[in-house]
Structure 1
Amino acid sequence: MRAWLLGLLTGFMLLGCATPSRPAKALGAEQVSPTEWQGRISVQVQGEAPSSMSASFLLRGDAKNGELDLYSPLGTTLGALQWTPQFVQLNDGSKRQYFSSLAELTEKTTGAALPIDAIFAWLQGRDVSTTGWTADLSAISQGSLSARRTAPSPEVTLRIKLDQ
């Protein structure tokens, strides 16, 4: 009985590590840089009430018009974020919430206001600076980037690993 229970638990743990891959669009010759990325994202917020968030993601568009879908390890949609110059919204499957800015939206979903303009640049391998954030793009050719916000408090660590 004990071995059966251990086997079942191990199976569930392995299932939780399996993330279904989503097809990425092929780049055409006319495209200079991708407008779609997928992989894993994690955000860790330090401070009095530390928090962390980790999910698979599919990011499309740019900093002005875009969509970010977040998925659990089992492939369930955790949230669909969408932004245009006219609106910023989160659809969590049961309701839509509207926000006044991307910073407010990303703080609600990840625990920290993320620099979306800079993230799009970093994903394209461009080392742009943004107030309070330092990015490490040394492994971007292998699909990894990390960034750290030291100001304002609390400290935030962002890690992205792209599917290749």
Structure 2
Amino acid sequence: MRVWWIALLMGTLLTGCTTPNRTTKPFSAEQVNAPEWQGRISVQVLGDAPSSMSASFLLRGDAKNGELDLYSPLGTTLGALQWTPQLVQLSDGGKHQYFNSLAELTEKTTGAALPVEAIFGWLQGQQINATGWQADLSNMSQGSLSARRTEPAPEVTLRIKIDP
């Protein structure tokens, strides 16, 4: 009987360590041919009240119509960001929060307003200018992107690692 309980406990623990398959949502008509990226993202904000966030992500669409799902290390959804020209929202555990801009939404979820349009370009290997940001695309062939914002304060570091 004791062996059975140990086996059950080990099975439960191992199941908790697996990352569940992420269900993909159907694409809208605008997103059918849009690229998709999956990997890890981290944002570090320096300054008087430093903060950082790190998560797995699934990004679909483009800077005008897109979705960004953020996941914990165990695969649970931390938040689902969605934007269109008419709607900018964060879905978090059944709650929906609406925002006036994508910059406002990314600041709420990551601690900093991110240059979403530039990020889509950077992920495609394009050196897009974003005010105050410097992107390092030298490791994009290995799926790594880093960018740093120095102006306006506080300084922000963004790192993205794309899954192969």
TM-score > 0.5, shorter chain as reference = yes
Give the equivalent residue in structure 1 for 2:102: 102
Tell me, yes or no, if structure 1 residue 160 matches structure 2 residue 152: no
Give the equivalent residue in structure 1 for 2:89: 89
Aligned-partner residue type, residue 52 of structure 2: S
Give the equivalent residue in structure 2 for 1:132: 132
Aligned-partner residue type, residue 60 of structure 1: R
Instruction: Report if aligned partners of 1:40, 1:161 keep a CA contact under 8 Å in 2.
Output: yes
CA RMSD of aligned residues (A): 2.1
Offset at residue 19 of structure 1 (A) = 4.5
Offset at residue 117 of structure 1 (A) = 0.2
Q: Tell me the TM-score normalized by structure 2.
A: 0.82
Q: How does 1:16-95 map to 2 (within 5 A)?
A: 19-20=19-20, 22=22, 35-95=35-95
Offset at residue 94 of structure 1 (A) = 2.9
Instruction: Report if aligned partners of 1:41, 1:54 keep a CA contact under 8 Å in 2.
Output: yes
Name the SS of the counterpart of 1:128 in structure 2. Answer: coil
Deviation string, structure 1 residues 57-109 (Cα, Å, up to 9, x no partner)? 00000000000000000000000000000010000013100000000000000
Dislocated runs of 4+, deviation >2 Å: 18-24
Give the equivalent residue in structure 1 for 2:3: none
Give the equivalent residue in structure 2 for 1:142: 142
Q: 2-side partners of 1:143 and 1:35: how far apart?
A: 15
Name the SS of the counterpart of 2:52 in structure 1. Answer: strand
Q: Tell me the TM-score normalized by structure 1.
A: 0.82
Q: 1-side partners of 2:93 and 2:152: how far apart?
A: 32
Q: Percent identity?
A: 76
Name the SS of the counterpart of 1:121 in structure 2. Answer: helix
Gap regions ≥5 residues in structure 1 = 1-7, 25-32
**Distance verdict in 2 for CA 1:122–1:35, change over 3 Å:** same
Instruction: Report if aligned partners of 1:19, 1:56 keep a CA contact under 8 Å in 2.
Output: no
**Distance verdict in 2 for CA 1:90–1:154, change over 3 Å:** same
Instruction: Report if aligned partners of 2:34, 2:62 keep a CA contact under 8 Å in 1.
Output: no
Offset at residue 55 of structure 1 (A) = 0.1
Q: What is the aligned length?
A: 144
Name the SS of the counterpart of 1:126 in structure 2. Answer: coil
Aligned-partner residue type, residue 143 of structure 1: G
